[in-house]
Structure 1
Amino acid sequence: MRGLLLRLSALDSDAASAVRVISFFDVLVAQHVGLERLVASTAQLAECPAGLSVPETGVWLRMDANGTSLAAAPPPALSREVDGGRVWLERGGDPLPLDEIVLERFAIAAAVLLGETRAKLSGLDDPALVELAISASAGDAERSRALHLLGFSPLTPIRVLAVLDGPLPDPPGPQAAIGSLHAVLSPADATVPTGHPIGVGPVQPAMRAPQSWRAATVAARFTAPGVIDSIEWDDLGALGPIAQQLHTSDIRAIPDVQALDRLAAEPGGQDTLDVLTAVVATDSVRKAAALVHRHHSSIAPRLARAESGLGFAVDTPIGRFRLALALSLRRLRDSAG
């Protein structure tokens, strides 16, 4: 059926062509396809982006001609009302002769399938809806409706937070336990809570919550409870994508990480690592000492012993970089699981 509408319109819009379009949508309804399949099939038929929006229930879908989900406000388009919302085609240039009948049958099919799916999310509480919103396996129709029930529009800019020691007592948005983490859907302009190890995902339209959540879980692995609380994915730069590719065995073989492991195994080793973490998180020994609640005079001899074990000075630009990278990789390794 791909490209059927363009081929039929290139001939004419006679009754036989219209019947084939009607049959196309009748088959989709008879198969009880999901709303995502309906929108994707319409976009493929018309060879232009298509969409479906029902504000009352939160359903919002937009697909291109390749069936790829789009998460951006659509341009002005040919549209038809349907069941409290509308369907549309984003045809560049003049409409084709069969566009009107496509919109009509698209709207009819959407009304039927909306009726079949209207009750699917009834009875779910906020945590279940949050889990659905960030699930990469959920369909766009389910996600948009879950977001609606949580108070977000599909295009609302949000950041997903991955909290290591959740739940948060006063979260900036709805939260749910996801494995050993807690996920929080936070408006983009909300303040990230302090005093908790939190990975902060990048700002995305709410429909892209799974991408923000995945990035947040990586960022959370670079936190150092009590020393470095929140880490933003955007601040990781190249380290974030690299972290998604590294295996723990690769990290374990890095000499600078091995040197940190030896320091950690010494008496007071964790305290030494906390001091080193504070050194790279601040710009002076005094600030580092304050961060770990030590007097600055006690930091210098500990740093000297640490530098001896590491084999490089930590007060030079390259030394600070090596130390920051080694500490980050070690935290990444230890948080794998």
Structure 2
Amino acid sequence: MKGLLLRLSALDADAAAAVRVIAHFQALLGGGLDAAVLVRSTAALAECPAGLEPADGRVVRCGPDGAPLPGRPSMVSASVRLTPSGRVWLERPGAPGPFDELVLEWMAIAAATLGGRAPRAQPPQVADPLLVERVLSAHEPVADRSQALRRLGLDPAGTLRAVAVTCPEGADALPGAVALCERAGLPGGARVAGWGAGAVVLVQGGDGAASPCEALRTVLCEGAGERVGEGAGSGTRGSAGSGSGAARWVGREPGSGGPYGRTVGRRRPGAVRAAGLRAGVGGAVSALEAGASWAQARTALRFTVPDPPYEAVADHDALGPVVLLADVPGRRLRERAEVRALAELAEQPGGRGVIAALAAFCRTGSLRQAAAGLHLHHSSVAARLTRAERALGRRLGDPQDRFAAQLALYAHRLATAPER
């Protein structure tokens, strides 16, 4: 962390401020912590009153000058609920601060340690990007990569996975990646570093063979209220319109402000609300070969789209032979009639909704499951699928045509994504 803070001058102001917020709370977690210390330090950091109401119902409030405040707040600008009960909040007058979300996320993590209760997982750590770059470089000697892994707190003899995270152009992926990893409960305290316009996550610990893909996907779907089904994306298919198949509902509260619930105070507890956040997961490799997993993660990332959120995470291993499509030059993919048809459809009014419906149906094989995941009536989805059939010249009720449509969707994503 010290090495990263020394390089803050090389980062833009927003990224530097986000790293300072994370470093502040990691320092608190490393020392003695009680409710008063947490609230007082948070208020000073946020430069506005802050408060904590733990499970026992007492209220702790402090102003930005460190002075205790009496009673309950008359106004809360943003809050996060705690598990199993309680909440933390900020009382900022006027417009919210640019890092209020991040401050509250980490205040909630720290609050989980009060009263001797450990957080549900070791929190992610912001890593020195130069060390991460050394770990991922195939040109660095093995001894240097091994030393960099140890300095990051990772075992050179263990297994490791890399995850590539990105946000829309102009957004900073680092805070979103940190929050995503924390909410997903990745084992061993994931190491997160900025990487160009995106972020890289190194995951080690737990079951080295287990992919974090489903955990990451569930977190992103939480903010959009999408179904995360056992059969969805697993290769199993229900009959169209059957609505069969077990699914776990991750709800969106009424009035949450659309995908990822932009209003902090009314969001579902624990939801990561980074609009457009996407992630690609690499395979499990020897830690000294982390660069191979990183290359796979970046390839998997090209198969993702931000909407619907279920499609915002892709696992290189789960894609199987489909990853070979990524080796086809974008120019050749764009020459395919189906890819051109999807590109034209995307530019038409309502076209992106048609493509989202097509993706949901190809994934589930069920009209009703696709409609439930998109929060639409099945008749609306059916109308969109009819439009997709006309554009592609395919009958989606036919398994072969549905498979061809799925390949066309992948090719369309690859044709519009950066090749490297």
Q: Place the TM-score, normalised by the shorter chain, in its bin.
A: 0.5 to 0.7
Contact kept in structure 2, 1:143 and 1:207, CA below 8 Å: yes
| Preserved contact between residue 163 and residue 199 of structure 1 (Cα < 8 Å) | yes
Match of residue 202 from structure 2: 185
* Fraction of identical pairs, as percent: 36
Return closer, same or farther for 1:273/1:294 CA change in 2, 3 Å cut-off: same
Alpha-carbon contact 1:163-1:181 (below 8 Å) kept: yes
Match of 1:267 in 2: 349
On the 8 A contact 1:127/1:174 being kept in 2, the answer is: no
TM norm structure 2: 0.48
Deviations 1:7-63 (A, max 9, x none): xxxxxxxxxxxxxxxxxxxxxxxxxxxxxxxxxxxxxxxxxxxxxxxxxxxxxxxxx
Q: Is the 8 A contact 1:219 1:232 kept in 2?
A: yes
Please identify the structure whose Cα radius of gyration is greater: 1
SS in 1 for 2:403: helix
Query: Contact conserved, 2:127 with 2:192, CA < 8 A, in 1?
Result: no
Q: Is 1:299 aligned to 2:381, yes or no?
A: yes
Instruction: After TM superposition, give the deviation of residue 277 of structure 1 in Å.
Output: 1.1
CA contact (8 A) 2:325 2:411 kept: no
Corresponding residue for residue 141 of structure 1? 143
What is the number of residues matched between the two proteins? 213
1:49-68 aligned within 5 A = none
Secondary structure in structure 2 of the residue aligned to 1:159: strand
Q: Which residue of 2 aligns with 1:35?
A: none
Matched, 1:150 2:152: yes
Q: Does 1:174 align with 2:191?
A: yes
Deviation digits for residues 252-279 of structure 1 (CA, Å, limit 9, x no counterpart): 1011111112211221111111111111
The match for 2:392 is 310
Counterpart Cα distance in 2 of 1:287 and 1:311: 23
Structure 1 vs Structure 2 CA RMSD: 1.9
In the superposition, the TM-score normalised over structure 1's length comes to 0.60
In structure 1, what residue type is equivalent to 2:359? T
Matches within 5 A, 1:205-220: 205-220=286-301
Unaligned regions of 5+ residues in structure 2, if any? 1-125, 168-172, 221-276
On the 8 A contact 1:251/1:329 being kept in 2, the answer is yes
- The one-character-per-residue Cα deviations of 1:123-158 (angstroms, maximum 9, x if unpaired) are x96222122211233221211111011111212111
Letter aligned with residue 298 of structure 2? T
Q: Determine the C-alpha separation between the residues in 2 that align with 1:230 and 1:329.
A: 16
CA contact (8 A) 2:357 2:381 kept: yes
Q: Which has the higher contact order (CA 8 A, sep 6+)?
A: 2
Confirm or deny: 8 A CA contact 1:197 1:220 kept in the other structure. Answer: yes
2:197 and 2:364 map into 1 onto residues whose CA distance is 29
Please show how residues 44-193 of structure 1 align to structure 2 within 5 Å. Answer: 126-165=128-167, 166-167=173-174, 168=177, 169-171=179-181, 172=186, 173-187=190-204, 188=208, 189=210, 191=212, 192-193=215-216
Offset at 1:213?
Answer: 0.2
Out of 267-276 and 132-141, give the one that drifted further. 132-141
2:340 aligned partner: 258
Question: Aligned runs of 1:26-45 on 2, under 5 Å?
Answer: none
Alpha-carbon distance between aligned partners in 1 of 2:166 and 2:304, rounded to the nearest angstrom: 9
State the Cα distance separating 1:217 from its structure 2 match. Answer: 0.2
Q: Report deviation, 1:216.
A: 0.5
Answer yes or no: is the 8 Å Cα contact 1:126–1:174 preserved in 2.
Answer: no
Amino acid at match of 1:219: A
Q: Determine the C-alpha separation between the residues in 2 that align with 1:314 and 1:142.
A: 53
Structure 2 equivalent of residue 197 of structure 1? 278
Q: Say whether the 8 Å CA contact 2:278–2:305 is kept in structure 1.
A: yes
8 Å contact from structure 1 (residues 200, 219) kept in 2: yes
Partners of 1:148 and 1:154 lie apart in 2 by: 7
Q: Which runs of 5 or more residues in structure 1 are unaligned?
A: 1-123
Which of these residues, 295, 299, 321, is aligned with residue 238 of structure 1? 321
Q: Using the alignment, how far apart are the partners of 1:211 and 1:221 within structure 2?
A: 16
Name the SS of the counterpart of 2:385 in structure 1: helix
| Paired residues of 2:161 and 2:290 also in contact (CA < 8 A) | yes
Q: Which amino acid aligns with 2:195?
A: I
Q: Distance in 1 between matches of 2:161 and 2:304?
A: 17
Partner residue in 2 for 1:283: 365
Q: 1:26 is matched with which residue? A: none
Give the whole-Å Cα distance in 1 for the aligned partners of 2:153 and 2:367: 46
